[in-house]
């Protein structure tokens, strides 16, 4: 015996048509809801100005974490999988322009590290020279030599609103929006580094750069100076280093340095300044041995 579906083709087609229409309505409404919730078509993520999440991010983060522990066993045991998971939890399912420093709180806890007194070296506009210097002497520690700085330096990452995982296509550039996944991370890491610093804190600045010696919106001014504890930091010692081949645009007695002095002292921190700190100039001289400034008799 055949059922009534087979015996009444007109009714069957009508019923199939109604069911198809219902299925299409349900599908259309879920797409509309997805648009409403994310502001984006479901399969068409927003395009940001920065590069997407670094390929193989998970492996790089976990690999660098183990590498750091092998270089600096004093840091103790870090759970590298936890470090990755905390990074992922801080950004996934979130709008990459709505990631706050506080979202990295748990990551900062698993990455916590003690910074020995008198070792901190902050910097502004001297990215290349400061890291050549710390590699050459190993006497100072920059943010990039700390656990968080080492593991995440040069990497890019962001999540996707309401969806798990990372966005490998594009992420917000540094200034594209206020609270983005990258700038908030570096602000959190810089604040933690400054808070942990004690004793004499050194700062390498570029005496040959145009304009303010440290930009008004620089991390040094906006994050690191305000987060130093005046009861634990005995002095902020600024080194103004000119490019050996460049102009001497700013020195300790320049207006921009005096203004920075006021700013630092305004945070109840002691200030001192030195022009062309000799150990750094010696490093510059390794590449420019014949330069007049490298003549031993000219050293201050
Ligand atoms: N746009 C793009 N990148 C930026 C921006 C910005 N507006 N601001 C900061 N950065 C990132 C870049 O990666 C850049 O190379 O910070 C780096 C340094 O910027 P600088 O103006 O040279 O210095 P500053 O903002 O003071 O940051 C350096 O913060 O990273 C910590 O401990 C570190 O003391 C150091 C300071």
Residue nearest to atom 6 of ligand 1 (CA): 174
Nearest CA to ligand 1 atom 10: 174
Two structure tokens written together for 21? 């229409």
Q: SS3 for 51?
A: strand
Reported as a single tens digit per residue, the pLDDT across 24-50 is 555 444 444 444 444 444 545 789 999
Q: Where are the beta strands (DSSP E) in 75-169?
A: 121-124, 159-160, 163-166
Whole-angstrom CA distances from 102 to 90, 98, 110, 291 are 9, 11, 14, 48
- What's the gap in Å between 61 CA and the centre of ligand 1? 21
Q: Rounded to two decimals, what is the model's pTM?
A: 0.85
Sequence-distant (≥ 6) Cβ neighbours of residue 27 within 8 angstroms: none
Please tell me which residue, 244 or 58, carries the higher pLDDT value.
58
Give the DSSP H/E element, type plus range, for residue 188: helix 181-196
pLDDT reported for residue 43: 45
Spatial distance between the Cα atoms of 198 and 233, rounded to a whole number of angstroms: 5
Distances, alpha carbon 187 to alpha carbons 32, 55, 180, in Å: 37, 23, 11
Average pLDDT of span 38-67: 85
Looking at the CA of residue 122, tell me the nearest atom of ligand 1.
Answer: 34
- CA dist 37 and 60 (Å) reads 33
Q: Which atom of ligand 1 is nearest to the CA of 125?
A: 22
Give 100 Cα–ligand 1 centroid separation in angstroms: 18
The domains of the chain are located at 47-294
- Per-residue CA distances from 178 to 90, 160, 172, 210 (Å): 16, 17, 10, 25
The pLDDT of residue 217 is 95
Q: What is the pLDDT of residues 143-184, one digit of tens each?
A: 999 999 999 999 999 999 999 999 999 999 999 999 999 999
Is residue 198 part of the annotated active site? The answer reads yes
Q: What is the pLDDT of residues 72-113, one digit of tens each?
A: 999 999 999 999 999 999 999 999 999 999 999 999 999 999
Q: Domain 47-294: give its CATH superfamily.
A: ADP Ribosyl Cyclase; Chain A, domain 1 (1.20.82.10)
């Amino acid at each position: 015996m055949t059922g009534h579906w087979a015996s009444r083709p007109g009714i069957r087609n009508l019923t199939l048509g109604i069911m198809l229409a219902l299925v299409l309505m349900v599908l259309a409404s879920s797409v509309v809801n997805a648009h409403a919730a994310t502001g984006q078509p479901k399969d068409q993520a927003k395009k940001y100005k920065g590069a997407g999440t670094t390929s193989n991010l998970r492996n790089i983060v976990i690999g660098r974490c183990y590498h750091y522990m092998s270089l600096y066993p004093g840091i103790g045991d870090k759970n590298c999988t936890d470090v990755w998971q905390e990074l992922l939890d801080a950004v996934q399912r979130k709008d990459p322009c709505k990631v706050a420093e506080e979202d990295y709180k748990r990551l900062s806890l698993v990455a916590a590290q003690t910074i020995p007194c008198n070792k901190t070296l902050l910097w502004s506009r001297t990215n290349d020279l400061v890291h050549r210097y710390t590699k050459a002497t190993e006497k100072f520690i920059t943010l990039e030599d700390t656990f968080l700085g080492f593991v995440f330096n040069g990497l890019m990452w962001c999540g996707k609103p309401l969806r798990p995982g990372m966005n490998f296509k594009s992420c917000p550039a540094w200034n594209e929006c206020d609270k983005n996944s990258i700038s908030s991370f570096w602000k959190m890491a810089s604040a933690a580094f400054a808070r942990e610093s004690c004793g004499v804190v050194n700062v390498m600045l570029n005496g040959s750069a145009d304009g303010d010696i440290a930009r008004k919106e620089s991390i040094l001014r906006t994050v690191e100076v305000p987060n130093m504890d005046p009861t634990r930091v005995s002095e902020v010692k600024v080194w103004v280093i000119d490019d050996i081949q460049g102009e001497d645009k700013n020195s300790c007695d320049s207006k921009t340095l005096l203004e920075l002095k006021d700013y630092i002292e305004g945070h109840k921190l002691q200030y001192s300044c030195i022009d062309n700190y000799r150990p750094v100039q010696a490093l510059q001289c390794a590449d420019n041995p014949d330069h007049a400034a490298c003549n031993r008799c000219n050293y201050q």
